[in-house]
Amino acid sequence: MIDWKEMGDLHVIAKLEEILNKWWGVEMFWTDLHYKIRSKHLDKDYSFKNHFMKVQFGMSYGYEYMGQDVEKVTDGLHENTGSHVVFDSFFKHVKGVASKVVVDGEYLGTVFAYPFIMDSFTEADSEELKKQMIECGSVEADAVAAIEHLKRMSSADIDYFSELVDLVSDEVVTFHSEISKREARIHELNSELGDKYRYHSMIGKSKKMQAIYSLLEKVSTSESSVFIQGENGTGKELVAKAVHFSSPRKDNMFLAVNCSAFNDNLLDSELFGHVKGAFTGAVKDKKGLFESANGGTMFLDEIGDTSLSMQVKLLRVLQEGTYLPVGATTPKKADVRIVAATNKPVKEMMAKGEFREDLFYRINVINVNLPPLRERNDDIPVLMDHFLKKRCDESGVPMKTFSKKCMEKMLDYPWPGNVRELENEVERLVVLAGDEKNITPDNLSARILDHGEAPSSGNTRGINTNGGLKAALEELEALMIREGLKRCNFNKSKLSKELGVSRASLIMKVEKYGLDKRKKAAGEE
Ligand SMILES: Nc1ncnc2c1ncn2[C@@H]1O[C@H](COP(=O)(O)OP(=O)(O)OP(=O)(O)O)[C@@H](O)[C@H]1O
Ligand SMILES: [Mg+2]
């Protein structure tokens, strides 16, 4: 079933609604197959954009008049093979356009754009309409004002206008099927013990993550060092653990050392241990982490923060398999696999002499480069679902669901690379939702909620009111392409089919509007 309630909040639909209202003065609403209005027009505090409709809904039977029209139009559309009709309303000379919402061949609802008059509307027509309105209970002044507010349309306008109304219903269909597909995918994720979506505790179905899984799978039996690079919170530690727990060393220790947490001397003695009398206060021998981790895996986190002298010592462990405890004269043997990670730009550090090249080449036998979340948008829904399930399980509350609007907002936000940020947001939403099963966008953090709400131009909703219709339509086009690209995971062939334009023309438009964010982020081409 279509979730009508949220449709009005979708960007493209809201924008189309604005355009239709601004240039043709109409209201847009939608109805289900039971002739019920499912948009906000029935809300107590709804403020009508069209004065005629406001006056109509203010009449004792205003809603019933509309209901009759809806019924007539819906039944007519059932018979009709076209996508839309121009209909005569109960009120004389007043018209509207209705467009079918068809999902998989099934007619599920109707989008209405109402009311307007034709440019042939005469003084006499106006009188006749006024009379009818008064008979229906309207005060004369209201009726006059309502009629004055009706916009005139030429028959040429109507075709164009109807196409835009069809766009609204197309958008409802696209969004609805996208959500169904996503739900199916998440279902699949849960049922399948997922080679594709999961590797150890890492979640992600994007191509980039799958490439990482298969790399990790390939090296699982090897002893080689692994070097993991990635921005904060991209899952470097998860990769390190996955490397260890899929290796033959998995029954021995996985020892994580945060190199930036120690000063040089401390790190030295932590890692390699010391002998009695090595320094004042060293009253007995101390085992270092390398000894504890013997037979296992050592995860050197933030290795980019180590000093050059420490780097020399690490290099020695890697090259010779031995190390020297502080104060000792004979080296000890180390049987430890090294996995190292950093979020620092090591190449640049090498160029500046801050990181030893020889150590880099020793560690970097297998290189795992973790992409930030903004480069793998299609992991967001599965990660959201994963964290949601984890959180609900942990706190013993029944499983919740994300509303479509909430999902849309989360997908829109350019997560600055950080899965932890996403995880925290989901946790927050679960807590704030309380007993509510459905998670609505109201509790989203302001930065996520406000993102994309106020584009550069003009008024708050972003329609350029100073420009003409053409400018507004171009903005709409850019918006549709931007959202479509995200939806289709930047697959332009798929999107061009969806939008009904050629691939070449889509590419031209993407260039024109500068929309290939992914390309920019990845530094491709
Ligand atoms: N692919 C993923 N699937 C599931 N959870 C993930 C994934 N990536 C990251 N996380 C979660 O995000 C958080 C951060 O992950 P992790 O600590 O591995 O990142 P990091 O790169 O080491 O971060 P930092 O740079 O801050 O040290 C953890 O809670 C982790 O469980
Ligand atoms: Mg980390």
pLDDT tens profile 394-425: 888 899 999 878 888 888 888 876 899 999 99
Contact (CB, 8 A) for 33 and 483: no
Contact (CB, 8 A) for 77 and 107: yes
In angstroms, rounded to a whole number, what is the distance separating the alpha carbons of residues 166 and 113? 10
Look at 334 and 43; give whichever has higher pLDDT.
334
Report whether pLDDT(346) > 80. Answer: yes
212, 214, 216: which is closest to 234 by C-alpha? 212
Helix (H, G, I), strand (E, B) or coil at 468: coil
Q: In ligand 1, which atom is closest to the CA atom of 370?
A: 21
In angstroms, rounded to a whole number, what is the distance separating the alpha carbons of residues 145 and 123? 14
What's residue 396's pLDDT?
Answer: 87
What's residue 266's pLDDT?
Answer: 82
Average pLDDT, the chain: 87
**Among the ranges given (200-204, 225-229, 384-388, 460-464), the one the predictor scored with the smallest mean pLDDT:** 460-464
In angstroms, rounded to a whole number, what is the distance separating the alpha carbons of residues 390 and 218? 29
Contact (CB, 8 A) for 295 and 334: no
CATH (residue range 207-370): 3.40.50.300
Distance from the alpha carbon of residue 394 to the mean position of ligand 2, in angstroms: 23
Residue whose entry in the numeric block shows the structure tokens 């081409």: 525
Distance of CA 397 to the CA centre of its chain: 25
CA-based torsion, 378, 383, 386, 392: positive or negative: negative
pLDDT tens-digit series, residues 62-94: 999 999 999 999 999 998 888 999 999 999 999
Distance from the alpha carbon of residue 186 to the mean position of ligand 2, in angstroms: 27
Distance from the alpha carbon of residue 202 to the mean position of ligand 1, in angstroms: 8
208 lines ligand 1 (CB under 6 A): no
Report whether pLDDT(261) > 50. Answer: yes
What's residue 523's pLDDT?
Answer: 44
304 lines ligand 1 (CB under 6 A): no
> 257 to each of 185, 292, 303, how far by Cα in Å?
38, 12, 9
The residue ranges of every structural domain in the chain are 4-182, 192-196+374-449, 207-370, 469-522
In angstroms, rounded to a whole number, what is the distance separating the alpha carbons of residues 370 and 204? 12
> 432 to each of 36, 57, 395, 443, how far by Cα in Å?
32, 37, 13, 7
pTM: 0.62
> 389 to each of 14, 396, 411, how far by Cα in Å?
32, 10, 18
Question: Would you place residue 189 in the very low, low, confident or very high pLDDT band (cuts 50, 70, 90)?
Answer: low
Give the residue whose CA is nearest to atom 10 of ligand 1: 235
Give the residue whose CA is nearest to atom 7 of ligand 1: 235
pLDDT tens-digit series, residues 458-478: 333 444 445 677 788 888 888
Query: 192-196+374-449, what's its fold?
Result: Helicase, Ruva Protein; domain 3 (1.10.8)
In angstroms, rounded to a whole number, what is the distance separating the alpha carbons of residues 173 and 105? 11
200, 241, 413, 201: which is closest to 337 by C-alpha? 241
In angstroms, rounded to a whole number, what is the distance separating the alpha carbons of residues 51 and 143? 10
What's residue 475's pLDDT?
Answer: 83
Among 198, 205, 419, 425, the mutation site with the greatest number of ligand 1 atoms within 8 A of its Cβ is 419
pLDDT tens-digit series, residues 487-525: 777 888 888 888 878 888 888 888 888 887 655 544 443
3-state helix, strand, coil in the chain (%, to 5): 50, 15, 35
202 lines ligand 1 (CB under 6 A): yes
**40 Cβ neighbours under 8 A, 6+ residues apart:** 8, 46
Question: Would you place residue 96 in the very low, low, confident or very high pLDDT band (cuts 50, 70, 90)?
Answer: very high
**221 Cβ neighbours under 8 A, 6+ residues apart:** 247, 248
CATH (residue range 469-522): 1.10.10
Distance from the alpha carbon of residue 238 to the mean position of ligand 1, in angstroms: 6
Q: In ligand 1, which atom is closest to the CA atom of 233?
A: 23
Report whether pLDDT(341) > 60. Answer: yes
Report whether pLDDT(331) > 90. Answer: yes
Contact (CB, 8 A) for 277 and 327: yes
Quick one: which ligand is closest to 239's CA?
1
Distance from the alpha carbon of residue 25 to the mean position of ligand 2, in angstroms: 55
Quick one: which ligand is closest to 419's CA?
1
372 lines ligand 1 (CB under 6 A): no
Q: How many CA atoms lie within 13 A of 274 on its CB side?
A: 17
**430 Cβ neighbours under 8 A, 6+ residues apart:** 388, 391, 392, 395, 397, 400, 439
What's residue 498's pLDDT?
Answer: 81
H or E stretch at 189: helix 155-191
Contact (CB, 8 A) for 398 and 437: yes
In angstroms, rounded to a whole number, what is the distance separating the alpha carbons of residues 274 and 287? 7
94 lines ligand 1 (CB under 6 A): no
Mean pLDDT of 33-44: 84
Q: In ligand 1, which atom is closest to the CA atom of 234?
A: 21
311 lines ligand 1 (CB under 6 A): no
Distance of CA 216 to the CA centre of its chain: 27
> 416 to each of 89, 135, 233, 237, how far by Cα in Å?
51, 61, 10, 18
